[in-house]
Amino acid sequence: MSLRLFDTATREVRDFVPVVPGQVGIYLCGATVQAPPHIGHVRSVVAFDVLVRWLRRTGYQVTMVRNVTDVDDKILNRSAEAGRPWWAWAMENERAFTTAYDALGVLPPTYEPRATGHVPAMVDLMQRLVERGHAYPAGPGDVYFDVRSWPEYGSLTSQRIDDMAPDTAAAESDKRDPHDFALWKAAKPGEPENASWETPFGRGRPGWHLECSAMAHRYLGDTFDIHGGGLDLRFPHHENEQAQSRAAGYGFARYWLHNGWVTQSGAKMSKSLGNGLLVSSLLETVRPAVLRYALTAVQYRSMLEWTEDTLTESEATWDRLSGFVTRAGERVGAVDPAAATIPDDFAAALDDDLNVPAALAVVHEHLRAGNTALSAGDDPSTRTELAAVRAMLDVLGLDPAGEQWGRSAGSDDRTATALDAVVRAELDARTAARAAKDWATADAIRDRLTAAGIAVEDSSTGARWTLAARNTTDEDI
């Protein structure tokens, strides 16, 4: 079975056939950096990280472009309220997004262009649209796309222009039609002068839609494979991107993929609802791998309803997965997940529009088989299942023994080494006390470790330890 993806434009699952055999170009709408990220922001990035990992695992060379919108009305307004330069405000929040991506094990994109670094490309695209009769200047610094000049406008979201809600502020602008959208916006009185640029049409700054079309063309060419983003971007952002890019004569994206939202009580998570959960705040109390699992486990097109049980369930599952990988690794030694064979059922699940829940069901089948083999002392079967489990989890960015999550991750593991030595000394003392039938001392040692957040597991091969799962409270949620 080959990869099949749900194309939002055609509203059907389609066989994926890349523009260039063996190569895939992806453009993902990234962060608008007016504030630090909450989990709703990072859902999209984690979902498309799984796609990139699966494409690379199946032999494709992937070029991943994820932009940063670092100048817009919200950034200018919020930075002014904070009394900060807009560019410093944007950079601070961009770094917060990068920190969140890194903590969640998201692979770095091939390119991560900023809007402010691609103004010449935007001006070139804007001029091309004006010359082709699809855009018009409407006063110093304002340039609009003429939606009625492009008969296919509305095709991405299956809408007719006359059925769309017009811009309520259109009467105060120089638009020819209330549905026309801005390619370039004139600088406003009171705004920082360095937040605008000179163009043949006057001084201003880019419209949101223009920047993505210009950067996608710069890094992926006239026609590329996949354009992705959150479901809320379909209209007007992606509709407008497609219209202006194709009106300019470019094929643009061949497949459109949109991920579902993170919701609370059925409502989209957003700052305006007051229910945003900042990634930085969550990571103070939640292990990054657990948060990654929670965001990954739901199929990317489905809504992820966030409740007080979300992290509790994810933590329990992560502990089962990491516990097996640790115990099996201690028993049979290291395996190379990159060289292991991916089970056919797992591959079939991901090829079916990245059906991660079905893929995780396969992971758990092999997890059970691995635990059975481990208990029976069947080392060959244990090793086989360990390799399969790690290979599948690696595709999902969740390999407990991988570089991101393994205890040996990083070049400086002195803290983990020191902790292991201290705990091992306590366990050795407990073993000696148990051998001497000094149960009071043995129990006291275990109680000290439990109080310190160390879980002890006794087995036929001796005691082993892990960090205990943290109890999540209502305050944490």
Contact 387, 340 (CB under 8 A): yes
Lowest mean pLDDT among 25-39, 92-106, 155-169, 450-464: 450-464
Question: What pLDDT was estimated at residue 170?
Answer: 56
CATH number reported for the structural domain that contains residue 34 in this entry: 3.40.50.620
Q: Is residue 344 packed enough to be buried (19+ CB in 10 Å), middle (13-18) or exposed (0-12)?
A: exposed
Sheet holding 304-305, edge to edge: 267-268, 262-264, 304-305
> Residue 472 falls within a domain, yes or no?
no
Q: Mark whether 141 and 278 lie in a shared domain.
A: no
Domain that holds residue 459: 414-467
Question: What pLDDT was estimated at residue 169?
Answer: 65
pLDDT band at 341 (very low <50, low <70, confident <90, very high): very high
Q: Mark whether 177 and 321 lie in a shared domain.
A: no
pLDDT at residue 90 above 90? yes
Which of these three, 227, 259, 291, is where a domain ends?
259
> Residue 77 falls within a domain, yes or no?
yes
Which of these three, 395, 427, 445, is where a domain ends?
395
Q: Mark whether 210 and 130 lie in a shared domain.
A: yes
Question: What pLDDT was estimated at residue 256?
Answer: 98
pLDDT digits (tens, 9 = 90+) for 307-324: 989 999 999 999 999 999
pLDDT at residue 45 above 80? yes
> Residue 402 falls within a domain, yes or no?
no
Q: Mark whether 352 and 463 lie in a shared domain.
A: no
pLDDT band at 199 (very low <50, low <70, confident <90, very high): very high
pLDDT band at 416 (very low <50, low <70, confident <90, very high): low
Helices 310-332 and 356-375: crossing angle in degrees, nearest 10, is: 40
> Residue 476 falls within a domain, yes or no?
no
pLDDT band at 455 (very low <50, low <70, confident <90, very high): confident
Q: Mark whether 206 and 112 lie in a shared domain.
A: yes
> Residue 326 falls within a domain, yes or no?
yes
Measured CA to CA, the distance from residue 404 to residue 303 in angstroms comes to 27
pLDDT digits (tens, 9 = 90+) for 102-155: 999 999 999 999 999 999 999 999 999 999 999 999 989 999 999 999 999 999
Which candidate, 354, 424, 364, places its Cα nearest to that of 388? 364
Question: What pLDDT was estimated at residue 213?
Answer: 98
Q: Mark whether 433 and 335 lie in a shared domain.
A: no
Q: Is residue 98 packed enough to be buried (19+ CB in 10 Å), middle (13-18) or exposed (0-12)?
A: middle
**99 token code pair:** 């920190």
Question: What pLDDT was estimated at residue 412?
Answer: 44
Question: What pLDDT was estimated at residue 274?
Answer: 56
The mean pLDDT value for 244-265 works out to 96
Count structural domains, the chain: 3
Question: What pLDDT was estimated at residue 435?
Answer: 84
> Residue 408 falls within a domain, yes or no?
no
Buried residues in 434-465 as b, exposed as e (16+ CB within 10 A): beeeeeeebeebbeebeeeebebeeeeeebbb
Across the chain, mean pLDDT equals 92
> Residue 378 falls within a domain, yes or no?
yes
Q: Mark whether 225 and 113 lie in a shared domain.
A: yes
Contacting residues for 393 by C-beta, under 8 A, at least 6 apart: 321, 325, 337, 363, 399, 400, 402
Residue 141 has phi, psi (to 5 degrees) of 95, -15
Q: Mark whether 254 and 146 lie in a shared domain.
A: yes
The mean pLDDT value for 48-53 works out to 98
Question: What pLDDT was estimated at residue 411?
Answer: 35
Q: Mark whether 232 and 358 lie in a shared domain.
A: no
Question: What pLDDT was estimated at residue 423?
Answer: 84
Which candidate, 11, 45, 47, places its Cα nearest to that of 298? 47
pLDDT at residue 473 above 70? no
Q: 255 pairs with which residues across the strands?
A: 226
Which of these three, 337, 360, 395, is where a domain ends?
395
> Residue 475 falls within a domain, yes or no?
no
The mean pLDDT value for 193-205 works out to 96
Q: What percentage of the chain reaches a pLDDT higher than 70?
A: 92
Q: Mark whether 275 and 370 lie in a shared domain.
A: yes
Question: What pLDDT was estimated at residue 264?
Answer: 85
The mean pLDDT value for 96-103 works out to 97
Contacting residues for 272 by C-beta, under 8 A, at least 6 apart: none
Q: 263 pairs with which residues across the strands?
A: 268, 305
Question: What pLDDT was estimated at residue 200?
Answer: 96
Q: Mark whether 110 and 39 lie in a shared domain.
A: yes
Which candidate, 211, 248, 35, 268, places its Cα nearest to that of 135? 248
Q: Mark whether 151 and 104 lie in a shared domain.
A: yes
Question: What pLDDT was estimated at residue 165?
Answer: 84
Question: What pLDDT was estimated at residue 463?
Answer: 79
pLDDT digits (tens, 9 = 90+) for 356-384: 999 999 999 999 999 999 999 999 999 99
